[in-house]
Structure formats: C-alpha cells, structure tokens
C-alpha cells in the first residue's frame, strides 16, 4: 500500500499533510467531542436558519400563514438535511487530514450558496440557487464517501459505495425536478424527500457505519442551541424595540422576558437526559435523528414568532394580538411535545413524569387566548413544566435511594 497509516483520530489537532486511508472511527472511542471544524461548519448554518426565520416572520406579519409555514417547512428541510448529511458522515469517518478539511470547506461553501438561495426559494419557489448549493455540497460529500470506500473492505466498503451512489442519484433527481412545471413541483419535492430519507436505510441495511452515539448526541444538541439562539436574538430585538418605542414599553418588555423564559425552558427540557444512552441501534438513532426535523424547525420558529409578536405590538404587522400570540405559542407547544416524544420520553418513570411536557404544551397553547400577555404567560407555563419535571425526577431519585 502506498499510503501511510495513522491511529484512529490521530490527525485531530492539526491537519495531517500525508496521504492516509480513510478508516472508520471506533464507536467506543473515549472522549469523542465535536471538533473546531465541525463547529465552524455549524456556524455556516446560522446564516441559513436566520434567512428562513426572517422570511417566516415577514409572511406571518403580512397575514399569510399558509404561504409562510409551507415555504418555511420546505426550506428548513433543505437546511436540516444538508447538516445531517455531513454530521453522520463525520461521526464515522472524520480523519481531520488535509483532504478531509478541504472537502469540508467546499461543503461549507455549498451551505452558503444554499443560504443565499433561501429568499428565492421562499418567495418565488425558485430552488435553482439552493440546488446549486446542494450540488457543491454533494460533490464534496460523494468524494468523501468514495474515499471512505477505498479505505474499507467487505460490507463496510459496500455501505460507503451505496451512500455515494444514493447521493448521486438523488441529486440528479433534484436537478431534474427544476425542469418540471410548477404544478408538479410540490409533489416531486415530497417524493424526493422520501428518497433522501431512504438513502441511509438502503446504505446501512446490512452494515452499520461507525457513528459515535455520544458524538451524535452532542452534535444534535449543538444544532439545537444554534436554533434556540434565534429566540434569544428575537428577545434582544424586543428589548431594543422597547427602548425605541417607549409608548409600547409595557408590552414589549413582557415579550422579551417571556421569550427568554421559553428558551431557558426549552434548553432545560432538551438537555435533561443523557440521550446517547438511548442510541444503541441504527433504527433508534435514525428515528431519533429524523424526528429532530420537527424539534429543530419548531425551535427556530419560536424566535420568528417572537419577532412577529414584537411587530404586532409596534403596529408593523397586519394581524391581531391573538394571531401574533399563536406565532409563539404554537411552535413552543410543538417543540415541547416533540422533545417529549422523541427525546426525554425514554427516561421518564411513571405517568406523572410522562404527562409533564404534554400538559405544559397544552397550557402554552391555552395562553394564546391572552393576546398581548400570551408570550410572558407561555414562558411561565413552560418554566412551570420544567420545574414540575425537576421536582418529580428528584422525588423518583429519593425513592430509589431508600
């Protein structure tokens, strides 16, 4: 073999300049954490998430929820799936050598092109720029999978080649979709979403890649923090608007406080359990990862909803106070339900613990009726749900000791 080998993970800390085979990393590797390159990659998605959230705000503030929500869901899937493609590959094959870093930087460039295409996709259903961004990302990622196949043997090699082939076929289908008439586009989009989700199942049906459970859990947690950051940003906008719009000070400050309470409660509920202990099989992990589309999309939508609530109070939105309240309470309730359904449910004991987040979500939805006071009340409801969960878990811990 004309390639030099290095121990698994030996390249981390500095890029290895020699040619090395891309070997799978161990699923039991200790102290596996996100790398600076992965964190830089995530930062590129801040732009895309912000673009999608901004467009959702404008549509909701204009009283166009149908267009806004449908466009947001389609665009956010493109953002989410681009991140997923990179994350699971990196968990199994991150060698951190020069070729790997260069390929990842190319993927980042594709993410930025995707972000630039978000406004066209949202406003005019023109996905040309977004598909070009995907082409750039997929070209680099396909090369990564082919490189992984070269370094593997047997079933692991077949899996890598299936991933590469699946990416190429689906990406060609996306390019072909651009040629379809507008009336057929939505149906084609949904069909290709199913095809995208099927690629990992097809590739790994007889051999599982060596993704690292703790690393995957950390990566999803970090992306959740990124989208929750949109809510913190929206709360900051509310405070700034309160300072600029002194006439609405008594309404804007409660929105800011309520928004912060919501994001604090969302953080607490999401990071309350060691979810990596649940990710013991590909079936569990893929279902958990796929379901995070709803978790992440709703988390980002909370920030957009707070911005809509601010615009309504400052008379920059053509919707009622109750409609603006729903822009916050609905995604908050969805987030709480999804976190319970796919994340914390696996660690709950007894009916009372299981009901905390669903009941909290119902209470948050009821806050919609409060109009201008809905956001602070929703924040209190979410906070009470977290407090109840902590109290019940502490009681369970005390009973376990005796």
pLDDT at 247: 54
Instruction: Please determine, for residue 282, whether its predicted confidence score (pLDDT) is greater than 50.
Output: yes
What are the structure tokens assigned to 243, written together?
Answer: 């300072």
What are the structure tokens assigned to 233, written together?
Answer: 């940003």
> Average pLDDT in the 168-176 region?
94
Task: Give the span between the Cα atoms of 141 and 149, in whole angstroms.
Answer: 12
Task: Give the span between the Cα atoms of 146 and 141, in whole angstroms.
Answer: 9
Quote the crossing angle between the two packed helices 182-203 and 282-313, to the nearest 10°.
Answer: 140
Task: Give the residue from 137, 134, 143 showing the smallest Cα distance to 100.
Answer: 143
Task: Give the span between the Cα atoms of 60 and 57, in whole angstroms.
Answer: 5
pLDDT at 298: 96
- Domain ranges for the chain, please list them: 36-203, 213-401
Task: Give the span between the Cα atoms of 89 and 282, in whole angstroms.
Answer: 14
Task: Give the span between the Cα atoms of 45 and 114, in whole angstroms.
Answer: 9
Q: What is the DSSP string of 314-348?
A: TT-SSS-HHHHHHHHHHHHHHHHHHHIIIIIGGG-
Give the pLDDT confidence of 10-49 residue by residue, as tens digits.
445 555 444 567 888 888 889 888 999 999 999 999 889 9
Contact in structure between 212 and 38 (CB atoms under 8 Å): no
Task: Please give the span between the terminal C-alpha atoms of the chain, in angstroms, as a whole number.
Answer: 61
Average pLDDT score, the chain: 88
What are the structure tokens assigned to 217, written together?
Answer: 């859990």
Task: Give the residue from 342, 317, 333 showing the smallest Cα distance to 368.
Answer: 333
Instruction: Please determine, for residue 8, whether its predicted confidence score (pLDDT) is greater than 50.
Output: no
Give the pLDDT confidence of 42-66 residue by residue, as tens digits.
999 988 998 899 899 999 999 899 9
Give the pLDDT confidence of 303-336 residue by residue, as tens digits.
999 999 988 888 888 899 999 999 999 999 999 9
Task: Give the span between the Cα atoms of 342 and 381, in whole angstroms.
Answer: 21
What are the structure tokens assigned to 120, written together?
Answer: 């066209």
Distances (CA, A) of 328 to 261, 319, 325: 12, 14, 5
Q: Is the torsion defined by CA of 324, 223, 266, 248 positive or negative?
A: negative
DSSP structure class, residue 10: T
Give the pLDDT confidence of 361-377 residue by residue, as tens digits.
999 999 999 988 999 99
Contact in structure between 224 and 270 (CB atoms under 8 Å): yes
Q: What is the DSSP string of 118-182?
A: HHHHHHH---HHHHHHHHHHHHHHHHHHHHHHHH--HHHHHHHHHHHHHHHHHHHHHHHHTTS-H
In the chain, % of residues over pLDDT 90: 59
Give the pLDDT confidence of 202-232 residue by residue, as tens digits.
999 888 899 999 999 999 999 999 999 888 8
The model carries a pTM of 0.89
Give the pLDDT confidence of 108-162 residue by residue, as tens digits.
999 999 999 988 888 888 889 999 999 999 999 999 999 999 988 899 999 999 9
Instruction: Please determine, for residue 4, whether its predicted confidence score (pLDDT) is greater than 90.
Output: no
pLDDT at 11: 47
DSSP structure class, residue 248: G
Tell me which residue has tokens 């050598």: 97
CB atoms within 10 A of CB 233: 18
Contact in structure between 150 and 20 (CB atoms under 8 Å): no
């Amino acid at each position: 073999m004309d390639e030099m080998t290095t121990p698994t993970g030996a390249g981390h800390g500095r890029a290895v300049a020699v040619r090395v085979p891309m070997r799978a990393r161990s699923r039991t590797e200790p102290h596996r954490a996100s790398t600076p390159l992965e964190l830089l990659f995530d930062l590129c998605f801040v732009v895309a998430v912000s673009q999608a959230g901004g467009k959702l705000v404008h549509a909701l503030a204009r009283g166009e929820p149908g267009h806004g929500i449908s466009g947001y869901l389609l665009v956010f899937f493109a953002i989410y799936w681009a991140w997923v493609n990179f994350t699971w590959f990196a968990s199994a094959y991150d060698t951190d050598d020069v070729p790997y870093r260069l390929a990842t930087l190319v993927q980042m460039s594709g993410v930025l092109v995707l972000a630039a295409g978000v406004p066209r996709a949202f406003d005019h259903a023109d996905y040309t720029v977004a598909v070009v961004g995907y082409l750039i990302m997929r070209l680099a990622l396909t090369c990564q999978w082919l490189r992984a196949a070269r370094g593997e043997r047997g079933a692991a090699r077949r899996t890598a080649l299936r991933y590469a082939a699946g990416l190429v076929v689906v990406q060609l289908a996306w390019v072909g979709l651009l040629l379809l008439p507008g009336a057929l586009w939505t149906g084609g989009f949904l069909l290709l979403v199913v095809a995208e989700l099927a690629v990992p199942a097809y590739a790994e049906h007889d051999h599982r890649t060596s993704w690292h459970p703790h690393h995957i859990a950390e990566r999803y947690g970090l992306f959740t923090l990124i989208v929750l950051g949109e809510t913190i940003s929206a709360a900051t906008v509310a405070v700034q608007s309160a300072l600029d719009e002194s006439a609405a000070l008594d309404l804007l400050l409660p929105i800011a406080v309520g928004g912060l309470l919501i994001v604090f409660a969302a953080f607490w509920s999401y990071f309350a359990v060691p979810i990596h202990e649940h990710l013991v099989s590909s079936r569990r992990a893929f279902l958990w990862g796929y379901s995070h589309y709803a978790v992440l999309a709703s988390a980002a939508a909370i920030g957009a909803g707070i911005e809509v609530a601010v615009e309504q109070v400052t008379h920059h939105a053509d919707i009622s106070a109750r409609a603006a309240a729903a822009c916050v309470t609905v995604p908050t309730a969805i987030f709480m339900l999804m976190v319970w359904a796919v994340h914390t449910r696996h660690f709950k004991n007894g009916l009372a613990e299981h009901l905390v987040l669903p009941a909290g979500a119902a209470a948050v939805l009821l806050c919609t009726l409060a109009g201008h006071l809905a956001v602070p009340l929703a924040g209190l409801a979410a906070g009470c749900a977290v407090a109840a969960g902590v109290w019940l878990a502490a009681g369970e811990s005390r009973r376990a000791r005796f």
